[in-house]
Structure 1
Amino acid sequence: MKLPFLRPLLAALLMSAGLAQATAPNDEASVRKNLDTFFGTQAVESVKKTPYGGLYEVVLKSGELIYTDAAVSYLIDGQLIDAKTKRNITQARLNQLQKIDFATLPLDQAIKQVKGNGKRVVASFEDPNCGYCKRLAKDLQGLKDATVYTFLYPILSPDSTEKSRNIWCSKDKAAAWNDWMTGNKTPAAAPAGCDTTAIDKNVALGQKLRVSGTPTIFTADGNRLPGAVPLAQLEQAMTQAAGGKDASK
């Protein structure tokens, strides 16, 4: 999710170059200081010098990745491509930044479904009213030999929260989820006293992991797949993860 004020500020900076200096210290601390002045807040998570044209990689606390020079005389909001190798440096770095430690996921807060031998493992954050999530749910019906953990992540509307709680409180969570997502069968109302704190914890967890849209999928090696990727692509990523290979490379 882009910072709403980023592009207007970028345009203003490019026009005025207000922070440009004739001689600016060539160090990361100076770059961070000038960026904090530019944004008017401490929006920067990290700054690192790159081997490309004197550019500095800037990771914002929002998760965005931009580039600047030592004097912060301009900002680049786009893709950096290595002309020799044709490798997308920006995307590779984003993949690295967006990886998680899969082992730390609180799987007891997710709906568990085991298909076949369950050897390959995947987790997803999904909203019950998300159209792409429904498409993914239908695709997953054909998934074999996998364990799927679905974190109910209601971020679209109050109705999403209600449906998530009703599904979580169902006697058979997986059946209630699939009935709704693939068959449009509304889940029964949650019984009084049902503990739905897992839903609130999922929302907090998703925000911590910067899950800004649904579905967001994580394979066992921690790689992130945003959106309802085609089943063939998901199969490939899961197989690579199970074999100890990094799907982001």
Structure 2
Amino acid sequence: MVKTSFGLSALISAAFLYSATAHATGGHPDIIKQVTDRGLKVVSSFKAIDGMTGYVFNSQGSPVTIYVTRDGEHAFVGTLIDKNGTNLSAPKVQELFIDAKNQQAWNRLEDSHWIQDGDPNAETVVYAFVDPNCPYCHRFRMAALPWLNAGKVQIRHILVGVLAHDSVAKASTILGSKNPHGPLIKNFETFRSGGIVPVHDVSERGKAAVEANNRLMSELGISATPGIYYKDGRGYVNMRLGLPPESEFKKIMNP
């Protein structure tokens, strides 16, 4: 769900209560500078109706759309709809902001500290931020077993420590092991009885990797585990937080 605070919209709107000189600055009309000076970053622009130019901005990880009039003298912030109530802004936000952001995230996930689960040759790849103490991560992996066992899906678990006082120690013990896959699976299999017991020396070896994964999770704005990234049938990267419902689960495993 895309959320934009009322305070932000009011602030941006206030910037456009007056006209701005329509000279181009950096390829954009000067009026756009009123927004970038307030900390928003231009992601992309596109042709809109009636000669207007639409802009998608990044506001602390959330998209904001702004439309500039043909003469570049005025602009407004918000959603553009047609006479039937169709949201004309949403497809551009999806294409230029969400899809692009998720693809960039996918590239970073490939370089993160993950543990292979399933056939490494499986065509369907799923990345999941998981905490060793997360019950929904446990349920997610249990539900994925039919696809994993059939060799149709590989899940790349990105171990983080965010939920409990021993989460970092457990995640570090797993990543610090010589064969991380073994303790990862053991933690899943013994989850209901407390999972693995942290081993100090091993944990120290894996701590830096867990801390790097924690930073990545924060930078990508993932606020819950499991944090799941997958590609749909079109090849677009999608992200969802938490345990997916059965209907969405099948889309993840059968793109």
Task: Determine if the TM-score, normalized by the shorter chain, exceeds 0.5.
Answer: yes
Note the alpha carbon deviations across 1:173-215, whole angstroms, 9 max, x for none: 332331355x353311124154112212212333444434432
Cα 1:163–1:126 change in 2 (3 A) is same
Where does the alignment leave 5 or more consecutive residues of structure 2 unmatched?
none
Kept in 2, the 8 Å contact 1:127–1:152? The answer is: yes
1:20 maps to 2:17: yes
Kept in 2, the 8 Å contact 1:18–1:73? The answer is: no
Q: Is the partner of 1:65 in helix, strand or coil?
A: strand
> 1:96 Cα shift?
1.5
Q: Is the partner of 2:99 in helix, strand or coil?
A: helix
Cα 1:7–1:166 change in 2 (3 A) is farther
Kept in 2, the 8 Å contact 1:95–1:223? The answer is: no
Kept in 2, the 8 Å contact 1:58–1:67? The answer is: yes
Aligned alpha-carbon RMSD (Å) = 3.8
Kept in 2, the 8 Å contact 1:125–1:153? The answer is: yes
For residues 110 and 189 of structure 1, the distance between their equivalents in structure 2, rounded to whole angstroms, comes to: 19
Sequence identity percentage? 17
Equivalent in the alignment of 1:100: 103
Q: Is the partner of 1:97 in helix, strand or coil?
A: helix
> 1:125 Cα shift?
1.5
Equivalent in the alignment of 2:198: 189
Residues 60-71 of structure 1 aligned to structure 2 (within 5 Å): 60=58, 62-70=60-68
Higher relative contact order (CA 8 A, sep 6+): 1
For residues 158 and 33 of structure 2, the distance between their equivalents in structure 1, rounded to whole angstroms, comes to: 39
Give the TM-score of the pair, scaled to structure 2.
0.69
1:35 maps to 2:44: no
Where does the alignment leave 5 or more consecutive residues of structure 1 unmatched?
241-249
Kept in 2, the 8 Å contact 1:19–1:72? The answer is: yes
Write 1 or 2 for the structure with the bigger share of strand.
Answer: 2
Whichever residue aligns with residue 150 of structure 1, its letter is H
Kept in 1, the 8 Å contact 2:43–2:97? The answer is: no
Cα 1:238–1:3 change in 2 (3 A) is closer
Equivalent in the alignment of 1:225: 239
> 1:223 Cα shift?
0.6
Note the alpha carbon deviations across 1:56-97, whole angstroms, 9 max, x for none: 222215221111232565422x68689698784133444422
1:59 maps to 2:73: no
> 1:139 Cα shift?
1.8
For residues 83 and 222 of structure 2, the distance between their equivalents in structure 1, rounded to whole angstroms, comes to: 28
For residues 81 and 99 of structure 2, the distance between their equivalents in structure 1, rounded to whole angstroms, comes to: 15
Cα 1:45–1:205 change in 2 (3 A) is farther
User: Which of 182, 185, 196 in structure 2 is aligned with 1:175?
Assistant: 185
Q: Is the partner of 2:102 in helix, strand or coil?
A: coil
Give the TM-score of the pair, scaled to structure 1.
0.71
For residues 149 and 208 of structure 1, the distance between their equivalents in structure 2, rounded to whole angstroms, comes to: 19
> 1:149 Cα shift?
0.6
For residues 120 and 58 of structure 2, the distance between their equivalents in structure 1, rounded to whole angstroms, comes to: 42
Kept in 1, the 8 Å contact 2:112–2:158? The answer is: no
Equivalent in the alignment of 1:118: 122
- Paired residues in the alignment total 232
For residues 127 and 104 of structure 1, the distance between their equivalents in structure 2, rounded to whole angstroms, comes to: 19
Note the alpha carbon deviations across 1:8-67, whole angstroms, 9 max, x for none: 2323555xx354223542853524310134x3xx33142414414635222215221111
